[in-house]
Amino acid sequence: MRKVGIIGGGNVGATCAYQVASRGTADVAVYDIVEGVPAGKALDMSQVGPIFGFDGRVTGSHDVSIIEGSEVVVVTAGFPRKPGMDRMDLLRKNADIAKASGEAIKKYAPDAIVVCVTNPLDVMTWTTQQATGFDASRVVGMAGVLDSARFSTFIAMELGCSPIDVKAMVLGGHGDSMVPLPRFSTVGGVPITELMPADRIEALSDRTRNGGAEIVKLLGTGSAYYAPGAAAALMVDAILNDSDRLLPCSAYLDGVYGLSGMYCGVPVHLGAKGVSKIVELDLDEAELEMLKASAASVASGIADVQSLGASAS
């Protein structure tokens, strides 16, 4: 059986682990720093196998060597922002975690494709890639898959249609500067610009940009994990099955869209070798300016990490 490693056994990591294991395509090894938690969650998941009929083996440990030999490693470990923490405090803590995760992957899973989920996502994907020393094509961030799913959900709610028929596209950094693209978002192949007025499209775009914050506010404590975990699992499937899915992901940019030296959400071909190709859409002037503004925010975050001395470069 093939193997997927997950660094971070919290809600997102555990949800991703369950989604991957339930497909029966790979064994899953979950690492978390808290002793007992990853092993306990792994045992609980394993006991679902006889109920739903899957045989993916799930193990957990507080020893990171459990990821050894993984073909794909998903990084979800990180701190949520807490009262009294400023942005730089959070960036420092999560950059240190991303760096340590990258070093562990380099040691125990040197041939793996890496899927990063830790926030701030695009910056942490860059930090992890720097720590692994892997070719940038082998390190990819989960951003647009989740953001596009949120946009699709809101479109389906607005139109009263099945979400299965909605295909949305969201680019840019994974944050409030992300760029929903109505022209490239469709229902049954029909652009949503033909199905609803501009003011409703803008309202849904704004809701998408604040999709994570909306869930945090409703929960009171904690943040989203079902959809983020599922989005990461979808990317794992694309890699393990070498299905060459066209998905919006955070990928390293080296000149496309006029952007270089950073990770940012763009459409990519995702398969067994990671990102094999970046698709450069024919964006209009306004769309391109929004993408560049979003990328500038990511570049600022990368500069902050470099100033903290947290990167491995």
- Write the Ramachandran bin of 166: left for phi over 0, alpha for psi from -120 to 50, otherwise beta: beta
Question: Residue 36's pLDDT is what?
Answer: 97
Q: Which is nearest to 134 in space by CA: 151, 159, 109?
A: 109
**Alpha carbon of residue 14 to chain centroid:** 14
278-312 pLDDT per residue, tens: 999 999 999 999 999 999 999 999 999 998 874 44
Which CATH architecture group holds 2-141?
3-Layer(aba) Sandwich (3.40)
Distances (CA, A) of 41 to 7, 31, 148, 291: 14, 11, 29, 39
Strand order of the sheet with strand 190-191?
166-167, 186-187, 190-191
What does the pLDDT read at residue 311? 40
| 107: Cβ contacts below 8 Å, ≥ 6 apart | none
pLDDT of res. 86: 63
CATH of 144-305, one of 3.40.50.2000, 3.90.110.10, 3.40.190.10, 3.50.50.60: 3.90.110.10
Q: Which amino acid appears at position 259 of this protein?
A: L
Catalytic residue status for 174 = yes
- pLDDT score at 312: 41
Q: Are 244 and 27 in contact (CB under 8 A)?
A: no
Find the mean pLDDT for residues 209-226. 91
Confidence band for 313, pLDDT divided at 50, 70 and 90: very low
What Rg, from alpha-carbon coordinates, does the chain have? 19
**CB distance 14 to 40 below 8 Å:** no
The tens digit of pLDDT for each residue in 57-104 reads 999 999 999 999 999 999 999 987 665 666 677 788 899 999 999 999
Q: Is the peptide bond before 228 cis (omega within 30 degrees of 0)?
A: no
Share of the chain above pLDDT 70, in %: 96
Q: What is the mean pLDDT of residues 201-230?
A: 94
Nearest alpha carbon to residue 76 among 189, 225, 263, 259: 225
Q: Exactly one of 3, 92, 150, 174 is catalytic; which is it? A: 174
Question: What single letter denotes the amino acid at residue 185?
Answer: S
pLDDT in tens, 244-286: 999 999 999 999 999 999 999 999 999 999 999 999 999 999 9
Q: What is the pLDDT of residue 61?
A: 98
What residues does each domain of the chain span? 2-141, 144-305
| Alpha-carbon gap, residue 29 to 66, rounded angstroms | 6
